[in-house]
Amino acid sequence: MDRIYVFDTTLRDGEQSPGVNLNIKEKLQIAKQLVRLGVDIIEAGFPMASPGDAAAVAKIAGSVKGVTVAALARANFGDIDRAREALREAEQPRIHTFISTSDIHLQHQLRMSREQVLEAAREAVKRAKSYTADVEFSAMDASRSEIDYLCRVLAAAIEAGATVLNIPDTVGYAVPDEFGEFIRTIRERTPGIEKVTISVHCHNDLGLAVANTLAAVQNGARQVEVAVNGIGERAGNAALEELVMTLYARRSLYGFNTGIKTEEIFRTSKLVSSLTGMPVQYNKAIVGKNSFAHESGIHQDGVLKERTTYEIIDPKVIGVPQSTLVLGKLSGRHAFKSRLAELGYVLSEEELKTAFARFKELCDRKKSITDEDLQALVDEEIRRIPPTFELKYLHVSSGTTVVPTATIGLTVHDKPVEEAACGNGPVDAIYKAIDKITAVKCTLETYGIDAVTGGKDAVGSVIVRVRSERGQTFLGRGISTDVLEASARAYIDAVNKIVADANGPKLRPEV
């Protein structure tokens, strides 16, 4: 079978999803999971966007092995030099430079002539090539570009040393038959294109990103640019899990394979959803909660007799937990560690110690612990930054005839501090009490609560989005069987991120 190379842009285009702002630790955690997943290229970020982005790219470049690490750069020397610096420690560096080629972008955004853009593309690739042998060139808004001019620009990029040519459907305008023909025509009309790898980067504005990518693959593309859970600008990118599993499930039709370890797909999806604060819709293909759920009596009867009657993919292939092992308060550290390993978590001794302590706390409140409980608990613990503020206790008085009042006990640099406050409701009172202790000026923009697990003793997950005084947004997440405790933990998590950002590399503002 022909090999399709998977270029993952979760950490670059995916992070451009409105409201998503990952810190360096979170980006590195996702990058390491992408290595376990088996992607070929990780686009780690856009170094020129901010010092935080540059620092994250450098950290990933120096930490992951066995994978190409790419950094994005506009077609100018400043961006390319910054990308090169960020990739200095990469085992397999790639500079990914781009410029628009559609007349609408040239006229209204770049305000450059076609010849100026062609020359800028040529010089950008030459500059990148002087730093690394692996250079990718993207013609932004290619699918709305005049084909003959586009081929001229691509030919110039090849001549200048590009090793990968990316043909983006930047605004998700293409449809499959048209896009497949577009790729075929580019192959026919671009001199030297047989020397390079053709890549495609499709957006999902019309819900056709995966279909367009597959059409391109059938017409000669051998690199696909995707994001976990399909996240990204506007309606997002082609979803990694959907594209990979289509090639897997229909391999007899397409005849292509990838290097993806499919059993890591579900774990990767859960991690990205947790860290970005972007929930996966229940009916999302491959990784949605309902993807392998059957309610219809006819479907249930068929699946019980033979799974393939209504399931075209075995859920175990993508790593959906199937174990019936029940953990509880009598379970030991070894059983806890073994179950986490089965779920795909590799924790350091310190992380394991912290997670096990939280597990024991949860066991005192909940009769049995499910896989989903463990995933929610560990995702909260292992992604935490070193906390300035930690919750020690919480007391709330509320009702229809009393003013909601909260008393909060936090440790601040290991010293206990207590405050109380009244509010319009119990959560408002909790947050006002926390504000008194932390003295961090911020604004709560969104508050969301969800039941991670089912039943009366379900674990609740609270996600808040907080805007700092400098105008940056930070996500905070807390879990507990007590939703008020989860609310407090989420807010404290966000405040800790604001403090950590103020003391370290600045994170990229919300885009």
Q: Which two tokens stand for residue 151?
A: 């081929």
pLDDT digits (tens, 9 = 90+) for 73-123: 999 999 999 999 999 999 999 999 999 999 999 999 999 999 999 999 999
- Cα(192)–Cα(196) distance, rounded to whole angstroms? 8
Alpha-carbon distance values, 325 to 307, 339, 343, 353 (Å): 22, 8, 12, 21
- Could you identify the residue written with the tokens 């608990």? 377
* Segments in the chain below pLDDT 70: 1, 293-301, 303-304, 321-328, 330, 342-344, 366-368, 370-372, 375-376, 379-384, 452-457, 503-511
- Find the length of the chain: 511
Alpha-carbon distances, residue 70 vs 23, 125, 138, 330 (angstroms): 18, 14, 13, 47
Q: What are phi and psi of 476, to 5 degrees?
A: -130, 140
How far apart are alpha carbons 356 and 336 in whole angstroms? 7
Give all domains of the chain, ordered by start, each with its CATH number: 2-276 (3.20.20.70), 333-382 (no CATH), 389-503 (3.30.160.270)
Give the three-class secondary structure for 405: strand
End-to-end CA distance of the chain: 40
CB burial readout 56-94, b (16+ within 10 A) else e: bbbbbbbebeebbbbbbbbbeeebbbbbbebbeebebbb
**pLDDT of res. 159:** 98
Residue of 223, 222, 262 lying closest to 242 (CA atoms): 262
Fill in the amino acid letter for 49: A
pLDDT at position 509 is 34
142: tokens are: 């290619």
Give the model's pLDDT for residue 291: 81
Residues 385-440 have pLDDT tens digits of 778 999 999 999 999 899 999 999 999 988 999 999 999 999 999 999 999 999 99
Can you read off the two tokens belonging to residue 105? 């972008």
Cα 182 from Cα 71, distance rounded (Å): 27
pTM: 0.76
Amino acid at position 61, single letter: A
Question: Are 448 and 483 within 8 A, CB to CB?
Answer: no
Alpha-carbon radius of gyration of the chain: 25
- In the block, which residue shows the tokens 């859970």? 229
Q: What per-residue confidence (pLDDT) applies to 361?
A: 82
Structure confidence at residue 476 (pLDDT): 86
Cβ pair 67, 40 in contact under 8 A = yes
CB 329 within 8 A of CB 351: no
- Contact (CB, 8 A) for 500 and 474: no
